[in-house]
């Protein structure tokens, strides 16, 4: 096989990637290009008393130095406009950008950035979520109430945003419970860690700006550039070369405006390439630390009557895109169960740490770990098998969700049955050892339908260009779009060329975020392809003297149903049309019913997103070295309801990657801070991803239910869902082996060892209902 | 592609070395402190070799030095003077992909692709010294290459399949 | 900055005398510089192409491992696996295949990290480092070589040419284990090496050394009272207790002192167990960590 003969099921960008010839952003070089380096705050909280860039400017080879004084006076907004592009007056986390330098070599740029003189009056750092909520806590933002907000943000001092989810009278319902189980779970922050550190290359031609960047959402990058540098959308073009993974960490805009501004001053292209250290400390995307305090009231028969919870979510220093986190986390704490009355309060809390932002299934792995641990604890308190307890309480078709949504066809229960059966079958074959156990966890994730567009062109040679705002970050979802179009058009997917990752040519869309590529860009691609198909039918109907609705499109030919012999090639039809055939689609966000229950509305992911959620069940087989607390995961059995699976190989790849990320979160991936909020393990030796030597075998089954409210052919998303349930499954297996709960995530060896030496069980209160 | 740009300040610290990369010899002047990864990517213009970390932990920069895998990010270019280097660009035979490249693709072992070049080099070296590795040997052989996308399952399959294919079994 | 590629020990020594620092695999030196721990020295002499340093020879009474022998070679060399199994156990755990390909025993030893893996095995086998300079050659014990974290007693003009290790007698066995949080790419959280000799099922000698629980690799003292006993659980318990007692661990990112103190006992006991089983003729493949699933049941 050669570079040009790759089978249809393989990725279109595959040959580029395996040959090493494909370019990622850091691989680009433009004539005259200078290199950027940032000067970071270094102190997590401080007032700038002196900022002198002259030593950097004086260095030979330095072509530009900029600070807050050199860019438009704009406060950035994501519901709360709480920051500027470059630090202004006060720095609030160690990785905040104070100044940027461009120089002829990366080394000179770094030396110049280091030569900038910045002195601070150090302010007390806010690093503890609960302490931050105290009356006397220092404030991360002195003048928090002066920031503009969009919509109804409930906020107070260090509480950046509060969200509540209520259903019924939880207090009254709790009093009717036979048993109340309560527990506390604390998750450390963690990171997305795409293997490609981010990079940006910005180039001006006159007053037109082109930015090559490693973003997952090029349109967000474009709008941030336009917003902060006061540029018209039409003059800014964002192009994404191959993207080396994102996992949410590269969602939105990051340093594109900084580099564009530098390039403007430098009067030459400027390139930024992050080190791994910078990748850890600077971006406003970190998986948020979280405290979950939860109490659940149950009847002896396993019926859940009420759940009350408080969630403290570490927002870090600024509002990145965490506005919907409180509600999302609250939904996960409610869980995919019939949980009776609910009272869930969630505070998103400012601290002097790196801002939190969307990382693969934001809030879900932590909240799910907490609530699935809690679920097993309830089962234990009731002396009931955890699988049976879940079976009795899982939501099913026709049930009403926490926010009033009525579920259509869903496969939560099927996920539970399939995954547990698979794990059990394996354990029957290879019996569990004395230090081994199986643990079960459910997971779920919303399906975000938003507006998107697509263009399609069929050329005279019968090939098709599909132009999408979709973005390929490795998931293969964009590749899958070809299959959708091929199906609509009756052509080989190989005849379809995708044009993507370029804001100048594609219609706007959500990019590779929120598991939305197939769901939203897919809907648009379907419509655009259908438009071309309709034109082909019209043209063929004319030619074959039949009604358009009787025309069948297959193998790049049109024929009349039942008479395949008389056919006409698409090439001929396009030629007859006299011009290429065009399809232009713009799909709206579907309309959803109103929310019947109360929930604060900012960052609302309520009704629509949870109408056709994705469900999953993970079962982990875990071995524990009791003497050291080291945990190893040998197998993970999963079942996923993500609706119809369109690209099976891609789907397996998503689950396998998500599971392994989950194993890391469960056991070794946690960000450690010093007392002032500096990261102590901002490198890959001390922030430990799982290696191939650690990877469990992963056994996946799909529950394919074509959900009515979902995307093309009943497909939902699948990029984030696999990252939700694994840590919970490992936690439950681990608790079975050691007979104790590890209440902190990651469940590091040392924490496991400690849990064995101290009783950390949850509180179970029997209530007399006689 | 030599550093002839008027912008790169000629350094008194630079040394003249010869690197044979994928069979072609490149005389280059490099600063002694430069690592091989950066010289391959900038001076020689082969950007298939990636850089993913600061502490020699990710393996994205893996190349072969006289047939053995090394982390090029942490190897001084000057120390490789006169030696043979193979990068991912050297794996294919003209337009013909190496079976490892073909199999990693068809098995689904490539997602974002950023780890892929390094992964391929480690796999190539592994099969070179151990044509019939066990699954555990493949795991250890690739343990210096982090992949965040795939969960490794399909990479493992691809290397195993390649071993079987190359052994004609 | 300059780098000279030396092809003989004499050439290297001459360069050291004029202020150059040796670089072998560079896996400590270059990585450290890249992380900003210490800048690269101004003058470097590459010693990885000196044939003499790559020699691995043996007589009936001793083994001589050239300082330039790589971990990859140590973990697969038949003689090392046979005679000095703990060294092979340790070498097999270093970094990744790439690290092991270029990383050398000499570099590991001369870097002087208290978390180095080959250190404890070398101590329990009574190894000595041979140091050569323009002034001549001398030998130092490992205990005399390491003086603090990253500090060694060798002079800057001395090149380590080899490690000389007495051959163990019949009935001897050794093992090295370390605590690791994942199965590869780790640095020892703590580690332990043991070398024992058995005669008719009775312990006739025992040495145990510990990794990453003190400013340098340390040997547990006062184990002689265990001689004459059986390699049983009581022995493991006694060794574990002695290890915990003599360790002076610190708290850092990888572990608290408390956890290190606990796990060093576990590791010491496991090392002694594996060493004794090897001494008794059991084949436990290298590295013990992976063949016994240290860190977690299999
Ligand atoms: C990813 C990674 C993982 C690692 N994992 C481990 C691990 O698990 N366990 C472990 O112990 N180490 C580990 N290391 C550290 C390192 O690989 C070892 O210490 C290795 O043995 C160093 O050998 P080198 O030849 O590369 O040393 P170099 O870096 O070349 O040299 C190290 C130091 O020793 C000096 N030196 C080298 N040779 C001589 C000589 N003959 N005479 C005098 N001085 C000399 C040098 O000047 C330098 O100061 C790891 C390193 C990396 C990058
Ligand atoms: S770049 Fe990560 S190991 Fe070299
Ligand atoms: S494919 Fe993305 S890191 Fe491996």
By DSSP bridging, strand C43-46 and strand C21-23 are parallel
Establish whether residue C119 lines the binding site of ligand 1, counting it when its CB lies within 6 angstroms of any ligand atom. no
Measured between alpha carbons, how far is A13 from C87 in angstroms, rounded to an integer?
Answer: 45
ipTM above 0.95, yes or no: yes
- Please state the domain count of chain C: 1
Residue A497 φ then ψ, to 5°: -105, 130
CA A196 to ligand 3: nearest atom: 3
Phi, psi of A586 (to 5 degrees): -140, 110
- Which residues on chain C are in Cβ contact (under 8 Å) with B55? 31, 34-35
C108 Cβ inside 6 Å of ligand 1? yes
- Domains in chain B, please, with CATH? 14-90 (3.10.20.30), 99-166 (1.10.150.120)
pLDDT digits (tens, 9 = 90+) for A350-407: 999 999 999 999 999 999 999 999 999 999 999 999 999 999 999 999 998 887 888 8
pLDDT tens digits for A438-462?
999 999 998 888 888 999 999 999 9
Pick the range with the lowest mean pLDDT from A211-225, A748-762, C101-115, C144-158: A748-762
User: Is there a domain that residue C97 lies in?
Assistant: no
H helices of A143-255, in order, are: 170-175, 218-229
pLDDT confidence of residue B116 = 98
- Are A756 and A747 in contact, with CB atoms under 8 Å apart? no
C-beta neighbour count of C122 within 10 angstroms: 29
CATH fold group of domain A286-448+595-767:
Aldehyde Oxidoreductase; domain 4 (3.30.365)
- The 10s digit of each residue's pLDDT in A498-544 is 998 999 999 988 776 666 777 788 889 999 999 999 999 999 999 99
For A210-240, write each residue's pLDDT tens digit: 999 999 999 999 999 999 999 999 999 999 9
DSSP A233: G
Nearest Cα residue to A83 out of A381, A362, A355, A277: A355
pLDDT confidence bin for C126, thresholds 50/70/90: very high
Question: In CATH, what number does A25-123+198-273 get?
Answer: 3.90.1170.50
Same fold across A286-448+595-767 and A450-587: yes
For chain C, say whether A750 makes contact (Cβ under 8 Å).
yes
| Residue that has been written with the tokens 């102590």 in this structure | A680
**The tokens of A731 are what?**
């936690």
The dihedral over CA atoms of A742, A744, A750, A754, expressed in degrees to the nearest 10, equals: -50
pLDDT class for A3, splitting at 50, 70, 90? Answer: very low
**In chain A, pLDDT over 90 holds for what percent of residues?**
79
Q: Is residue C208 part of a domain?
A: yes
Mean pLDDT of A99-123: 98
Q: What residues does each domain of chain A span?
A: 25-123+198-273, 286-448+595-767, 450-587
- Residue from B73, C228, C56 nearest A195 by CA: B73
Least confident of A7-16, A391-400, A422-431: A7-16
Q: Do C183 and A691 touch (CB under 8 A)?
A: yes
Q: Give the CATH number of domain A450-587; options: 3.30.365.10, 3.30.420.130, 3.20.20.60, 1.10.3720.10.
A: 3.30.365.10
Name which of B87, B111, B145 is nearest A476 (Cβ-Cβ).
Answer: B111
CATH code for the domain in which residue C198 is found: 3.30.390.50
CB distance C218 to C148 below 8 Å: no
B81 interaction partners in chain C (CB closer than 8 Å): 5
pTM for this model (two decimals) = 0.96
The residue segments making up the domain with residue C252 are 172-291
Q: Which atom of ligand 1 is nearest to the CA of C100?
A: 17
Q: How far apart are CA C258 and CA C189, in angstroms?
A: 12
Instruction: List, as ranges, residues 78-137 from C with C-beta within 8 Å of B.
Output: 95-99, 101-102
Residues in chain B: 169
Is 80 exceeded by the pLDDT of residue A476?
A: no
- Which chains have 3+ CB pairs within 8 A of C? A, B
């Amino acid at each position: 096989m050669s570079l040009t003969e790759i089978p249809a099921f393989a990725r279109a960008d595959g040959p580029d990637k395996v040959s090493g010839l494909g370019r990622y952003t850091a691989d680009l070089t433009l004539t005259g290009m200078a290199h950027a380096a940032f000067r970071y705050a270094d102190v997590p909280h401080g007032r700038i008393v002196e900022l002198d860039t002259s030593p950097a400017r004086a260095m030979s080879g330095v072509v530009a130095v900029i600070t807050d004084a050199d860019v438009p006076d704009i406060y950035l907004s994501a519901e709360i406009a709480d920051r500027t592009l470059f630090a202004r007056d006060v720095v609030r986390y160690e990785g905040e950008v104070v100044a940027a330098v461009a120089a002829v070599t990366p080394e000179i740029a770094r030396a110049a950035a280091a030569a900038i003189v910045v002195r601070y009056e150090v302010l007390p750092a806010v690093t503890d979520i609960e302490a931050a909520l105290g009356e006397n806590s220092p404030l991360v933002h002195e003048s928090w109430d002066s920031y503009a907000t969009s919509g109804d943000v409930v906020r107070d001092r260090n509480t950046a945003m509060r969200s509540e989810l209520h259903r019924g009278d939880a207090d009254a319902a709790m009093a009717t419970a036979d048993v109340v189980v309560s527990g506390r779970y604390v998750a450390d922050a963690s990171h997305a860690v795409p293997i490609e550190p981010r990079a940006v290359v910005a180039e001006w031609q006159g007053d037109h700006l082109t930015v090559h960047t490693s973003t997952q959402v090029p349109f967000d990058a474009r709008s941030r550039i336009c917003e902060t540098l006061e540029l018209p959308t039409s003059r800014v073009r964002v192009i994404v070369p191959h993207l080396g993974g994102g996992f949410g960490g590269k969602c939105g805009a990051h340093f594109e405006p900084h580099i564009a501004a530098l390039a403007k001053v430098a009067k030459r292209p400027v390139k930024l390439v992050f080190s791994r250290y910078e990748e850890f400390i600077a971006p406003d995307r970190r998986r948020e630390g979280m405290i979950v305090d939860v109490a659940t009231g149950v009847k002896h028969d396993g019926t859940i009557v009420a759940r009350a919870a408080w969630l403290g979510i570490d927002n870090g220093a600024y509002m990145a895109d965490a506005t919907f986190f409180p509600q999302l986390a609250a939904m996960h704490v409610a869980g995919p169960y019939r949980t009776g009355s609910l009272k869930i309060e969630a505070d998103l809390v400012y601290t002097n740490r790196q801002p939190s932002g969307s990382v693969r299934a934001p809030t879900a792995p932590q909240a799910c770990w907490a609530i699935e641990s809690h679920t097993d604890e309830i089962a234990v308190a009731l002396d009931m098998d955890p699988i049976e307890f879940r079976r009795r309480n899982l939501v099913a078709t026709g049930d009403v969700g926490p926010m009033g949504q009525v579920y259509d066809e869903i496969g939560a229960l099927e996920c539970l049955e399939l995954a547990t059966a698979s794990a059990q079958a394996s354990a029957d074959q290879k019996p569990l050892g004395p230090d081994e156990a199986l643990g079960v966890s459910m997971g779920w994730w919303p399906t975000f339908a938003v507006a998107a567009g697509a263009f399609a062109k069929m050329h005279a040679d019968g090939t098709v260009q599909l132009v999408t705002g979709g973005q390929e970050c490795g998931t293969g979802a964009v590749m899958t779009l070809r299959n959708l179009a091929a199906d609509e058009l009756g052509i080989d997917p190989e005849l379809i060329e995708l044009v993507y990752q370029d804001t100048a040519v594609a219609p706007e869309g959500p990019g590779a975020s929120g598991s939305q590529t197939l769901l939203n860009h897919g809907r648009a691609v379907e419509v655009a392809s259908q438009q071309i198909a309709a034109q082909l039918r019209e043209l063929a109907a004319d030619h074959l003297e039949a009604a358009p609705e009787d025309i069948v499109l297959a193998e790049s030919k049109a024929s009349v149903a039942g008479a395949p012999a008389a056919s006409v090639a698409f090439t001929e039809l396009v030629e007859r049309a006299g011009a290429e055939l065009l399809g232009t689609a713009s799909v709206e966000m579907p309309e959803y019913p109103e929310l019947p229950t109360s929930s604060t509305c900012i960052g609302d992911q309520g009704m629509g997103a949870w109408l056709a959620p994705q469900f999953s069940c993970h079962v982990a087989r875990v071995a524990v070295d009791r003497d050291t607390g080291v945990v190893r995961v040998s197998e993970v059995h999963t079942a996923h309801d993500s609706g119809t699976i369109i690209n099976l190989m891609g789907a397996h790849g998503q689950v396998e990657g998500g599971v392994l990320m989950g194993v890391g979160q469960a056991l070794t991936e946690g960000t450690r801070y010093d007392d002032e909020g500096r990261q102590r393990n901002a490198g890959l030796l001390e922030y430990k991803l799982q290696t191939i030597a650690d990877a469990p075998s992963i056994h996946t089954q799909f529950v394919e239910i074509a959900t009515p409210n979902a995307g093309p052919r009943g497909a939902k998303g699948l990029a984030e869902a696999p990252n939700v349930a694994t840590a919970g499954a490992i936690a439950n297996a681990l608790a079975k082996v050691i007979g104790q709960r590890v209440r902190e995530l990651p469940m590091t060896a040392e924490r496991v060892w400690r849990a064995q030496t101290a009783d950390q069980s949850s509180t179970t209160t029997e209530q007399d209902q006689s | 592609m030599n550093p002839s740009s008027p912008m790169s300040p000629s350094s008194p610290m630079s040394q003249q070395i010869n690197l044979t990369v994928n069979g072609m010899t490149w005389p280059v002047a490099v600063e002694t402190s430069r690592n091989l990864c950066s010289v391959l990517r900038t001076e020689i213009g082969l950007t298939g070799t990636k850089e993913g970390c600061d502490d020699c932990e990710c393996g994205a920069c893996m190349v072969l030095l006289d047939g053995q895998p090394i982390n090029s990010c942490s190897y001084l270019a000057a120390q490789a003077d006169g030696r043979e280097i193979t990068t991912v660009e050297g794996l294919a035979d003209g337009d013909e992909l190496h079976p490892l490249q073909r199999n990693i693709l068809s098995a689904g072992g490539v997602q974002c692709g950023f780890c892929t070049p390094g992964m391929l080099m480690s796999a190539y070296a592994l099969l070179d010294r151990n044509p019939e590795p066990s699954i555990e040997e493949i795991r250890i052989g690739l343990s210096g290459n982090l992949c965040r996308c795939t969960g490794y399952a399909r990479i493992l399959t691809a290397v195993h399949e390649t071993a079987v294919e190359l052994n004609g079994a | 900055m300059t780098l000279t590629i030396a092809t003989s020990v004499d050439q290297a020594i001459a360069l050291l005398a004029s202020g150059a620092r040796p670089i072998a695999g560079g896996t400590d030196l270059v990585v450290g510089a890249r992380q900003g721990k210490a800048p690269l020295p101004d003058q470097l002499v590459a010693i990885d192409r000196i044939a003499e340093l790559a020699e691995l020879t043996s007589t009936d009474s001793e083994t001589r491992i050239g300082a330039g022998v790589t971990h990859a070679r140590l973990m697969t060399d038949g003689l090392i696996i046979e005679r000095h199994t703990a060294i092979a156990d340790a070498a097999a755990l270093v970094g990744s295949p790439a690290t092991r390909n270029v990383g050398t025993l000499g570099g590991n030893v001369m870097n002087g990290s208290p978390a180095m893996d080959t250190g404890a095995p070398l101590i329990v086998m009574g190894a000595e480092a041979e140091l050569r300079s323009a002034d001549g050659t001398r030998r130092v014990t490992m205990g005399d070589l390491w003086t603090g974290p990253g500090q060694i007693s060798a002079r800057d003009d001395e090149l380590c040419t080899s490690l000389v290790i007495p051959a163990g007698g019949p009935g001897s066995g050794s093992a090295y284990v370390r605590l690791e949080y994942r199965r590869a790419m780790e640095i020892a959280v703590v580690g332990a090496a043991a070398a024992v000799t058995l005669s008719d099922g009775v312990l006739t000698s025992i040495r145990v050394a510990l990794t990453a629980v003190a400013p340098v690799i340390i040997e547990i003292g006062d184990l002689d009272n265990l001689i004459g006993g059986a390699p049983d659980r009581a022995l493991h318990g006694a060794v574990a207790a002695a290890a915990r007692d003599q360790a002076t661990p610190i708290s850092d990112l990888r572990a608290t002192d408390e956890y290190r103190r606990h796990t060093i006992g576990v590791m010491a006991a496991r090392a002694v167990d594996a060493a004794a089983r090897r001494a008794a003729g059991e084949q436990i493949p290298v590295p013990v960590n992976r063949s016994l699933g240290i860190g977690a049941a299999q």
